[in-house]
Structure 1
């Protein structure tokens, strides 16, 4: 068995499979990097509102999963503070534009309104 260090990771490989271990290390490094990036600890909870059995609005509540908390406490959702909520919603707003989805932001909540009425299957009768 051979031990070597690659970009800060200690890799153990049996002779002849060093290439496989490097590929595995690249994936491991990506997972470790993802855990370190605060963006992976931010999200929204969606609440759908209906009017006469038709989707009227979707409210998006920004949440923080605790990137800055100690490791054992990460992943527990809480409402994002005002600054982080704005960043989350503005990023989501920008990412949604190419798909024609408009998100308005009001009092720290994202609001999506359907552009066209959503058809109700009961209308066909």
Structure 2
């Protein structure tokens, strides 16, 4: 997908189609660094795609082979790519909205776990 976005952020036909339809992009920064698809977590296209409005989620790929966890992936994005709590909240909500689970469970997870959890992490600041 990153190959269909120009250096100045212009989207090609495929990138527009994917972004406009909110098709989730499940990206695995550590795995991509390990395979050479990205030079570093800081240089990984996930941040750029997130800023351009794509439905981005963070994943671990193969945890055994990559030696990582979701928490480690997110921490690296904060430490190496400058992600904020709002970035983490956005990708977490995107993942929940696209999860393969019944709508009732998805809504409960968002309303009772994710939203309050991020509100606590933000010091009580709550955004729906």
TM-score category of the 2 structures, normalised to the smaller one: under 0.3
Higher helix share: 2
Q: Which has the larger radius of gyration?
A: 1
TM-score, normalised to structure 2's length?
A: 0.27
TM-score, normalised to structure 1's length?
A: 0.28
